[in-house]
Structures are given as C-alpha cells and as structure tokens.
Amino acid sequence: MNSSVPVLTIDGPSGSGKGTISRLVATRLGWHYLDSGALYRAVGIAAGWSDLDLSDASALVRCTFDTEVGFRDDGDGEPRVIVNGVDATLELRTETAGAAASAIAAIPEVRSALKERQRAFRQPPGLVADGRDMGTVIFPDAAHKVFLTASAEERAERRYKQLKDKGVSVTIDGLLREILARDARDASRAVAPLRPATDAVLIDTTGLPIDVVVARVLDVVSRPIG
Ligand SMILES: Nc1ncnc2c1ncn2[C@@H]1O[C@H](COP(=O)(O)OP(=O)(O)O)[C@@H](O)[C@H]1O
Ligand SMILES: Nc1ccn([C@H]2C[C@H](O)[C@@H](COP(=O)(O)OP(=O)(O)O)O2)c(=O)n1
C-alpha cells in the first residue's frame, strides 16, 4: 500500500532508549513517528479503567478494537497521548501500565487487531517506528533496522530518573525487577517475541550519550540499501 515510503525500525527492550532516539531521529529526518508501545499501553490502561480481567482474551480483544488512541505533539518533547478522549500521558508511562501492556501484548488476537493501525502510520516522507516487533513483523520490508540494547542496570537507572523527574514514586530495585520480568515475558511469548530482525544493526547504548546514539542511527539510515 505505502510500501514505497521509507521506514526506519527501532526495536529493543524497556529503557534501551527507543522512544528518545526515535523522536530525535524522526525530527532530524522530518519523518513521522510511531510509538507502538503506547498503543499496547493504552489498551492496557483502558482495560484497567473497565476492570477487565487480564486473562479474559475475548474481552481484551474487544477492548483493543474499542480503544481510541490519539497523539498530540505540542513540540515540547514527548507527544501527549489521548486515550478515549482522556489525556493519559503520565499514567501511560508508569510501570503498572507497562506490565499491563506486556501482558495483553502476549495475546495473538490483540496483536492482530493493532497491526493495520500501526501500518497506517507509514506516510510520506517516511516513518520511524519504535517497538518490539517493528523490524520483524510490522515492517519486515523496512529499509533501515536498528535494535537498541543496554545493560538491565543502566535501563533501570534511566527509568528511575525519568519517572522521578515526572514525580512518580519508584525504587531502582523495584524497577530492575519489573524490567527483567517484562524482558523475559516479551522475549518468550510465542507470537512476535522481542528479538532483533536478522538484518538489524545492533547498538549497545550502555554508557553512550544520547547524541552519539542518534548519530549512529542516522549513520545506519544514510548507508546505501542492499
Ligand atoms: N543513551 C542514553 N543515555 C542515557 N540516557 C538515555 C539514553 N537513551 C535514553 N535515555 C533516557 O532513558 C530514559 C528511557 O528512555 P526511553 O527512550 O523512554 O526508552 P524506551 O523507549 O526504550 O523504553 C529517558 O529518560 C531517556 O532520556
Ligand atoms: N511493538 C510492541 C510494542 C510494545 N509491546 C508491549 C511489550 C512491552 O513490554 C509493552 C510496553 O512497550 P513500550 O515500548 O511502551 O515500553 P518501554 O518504553 O520499552 O518500557 O508493550 C509489544 O509487545 N510490541
């Protein structure tokens, strides 16, 4: 459909820097940005608002179809995320929302229900897509693929600082446990598990400043294709 529009996929585990790097790279390239995790998180919190049981697959699939998600970019960093008309930006970033997202993301029908919604973001002049399966399942034909990693300890520390700055009360130990549990669930599920595409460039961001990671990713995009 939009297969002539170039796509850069940025996959990786929690706290590896996908969102930060994707937004900066998208701005530099003048491309659109898809935060696919926000869609899973939105369904997770909408399910919570409706008191749905996270093991009730058919109710969660209905909830996936019924949940409206909008992004509003005020140009001051992270776009606001509007879920069913409510600004849910802060709630969306909590580890509770991350864990709910990871749980519902293991349900194959929920993943299928979100497939076309994600592909619709592929619009000219290009798309930077951030998630777990962008390079493997959603945009397997993407011209450029990156897989970001970092040590679990550094990822927990980054998340700790990020949530503390937003006034959310957390501990590094608690975050580390939650991140490791989420990594294990995301990597072990049967459908679209977290793993690098065979043609992805791996970047270990442990100890690397954000601007260096951005430069490396832009370098991947500027390489000749094929
Ligand atoms: N290379 C990096 N070095 C230091 N901090 C980083 C780096 N990349 C991202 N961060 C910070 O780590 C936090 C988590 O990054 P984020 O982009 O939300 O990760 P992800 O989307 O992979 O979960 C943010 O506060 C971000 O500013
Ligand atoms: N493409 C995606 C994106 C997210 N998910 C699931 C699995 C993740 O643990 C949750 C939350 O993803 P999100 O990218 O928002 O989380 P992090 O910012 O990496 O902590 O959603 C997914 O299964 N596939």
**Does any domain span residue 87?**
yes
Looking at residue 157, its pLDDT comes to 96
Query: Residue 169 is part of which domain span?
Result: 7-221
How much is the mean pLDDT over the chain? Answer: 94
Domains held by the chain: number:
1
User: Residue 223: which pLDDT band, with cuts at 50, 70 and 90?
Assistant: confident
Average the pLDDT over 173-202 and give the result.
92
DSSP letter for 132, please.
S
**Which ligand is in closest contact with the Cα of 36?**
2
SS3 label, residue 10: strand
CATH code: domain of residue 187: 3.40.50.300
Burial bucket for residue 125 (CB in 10 Å: 0-12, 13-18, 19+): exposed
Q: What is the pTM of this model?
A: 0.96
| C-alpha to C-alpha distances, 175 to 51, 164, 207, nearest whole angstrom | 24, 12, 19
**Does any domain span residue 134?**
yes
Percentage, residues of the chain above pLDDT 70: 99
**Does any domain span residue 100?**
yes
**Does any domain span residue 197?**
yes
CB of 31 closer than 8 Å to CB of 128: yes
Burial bucket for residue 213 (CB in 10 Å: 0-12, 13-18, 19+): buried
Q: Is the CB of 92 under 6 A from ligand 1?
A: no
pLDDT at 148 over 70: yes
pLDDT in tens, 100-130: 999 999 999 999 999 999 999 999 999 999 9
User: Residue 1: which pLDDT band, with cuts at 50, 70 and 90?
Assistant: low
pLDDT in tens, 41-95: 999 999 999 999 988 999 999 999 999 999 998 877 788 999 999 999 999 988 8
**Does any domain span residue 209?**
yes
Residue 85 annotated in ligand binding: no
**Does any domain span residue 1?**
no
DSSP letter for 138, please.
I
Looking at residue 226, its pLDDT comes to 64
Q: Is the CB of 18 under 6 A from ligand 1?
A: yes
Best of 35, 95, 96, 102 to mutate for ligand 2, by most ligand atoms within 8 A of CB? 102
Determine the distance separating the centroid of ligand 1 and the alpha carbon of 181, expressed in angstroms. Answer: 19
Q: Residue 201: which of 26, 9, 24 has the closest Cα?
A: 9
Residues 6+ apart with CB under 8 A from 16: 148, 149, 150, 155, 205
Average the pLDDT over 23-45 and give the result.
97
**Does any domain span residue 27?**
yes
pLDDT at 166 over 90: no
Q: Find the radius of gyration of the CA atoms of the chain.
A: 17
User: Residue 149: which pLDDT band, with cuts at 50, 70 and 90?
Assistant: very high
**Does any domain span residue 2?**
no
How is 163-226 classified by DSSP, letter by letter? Answer: HHHTT----HHHHHHHHHHHHHHHHH-SSS-S---TTPEEEE-TT--HHHHHHHHHHHHHSPP-
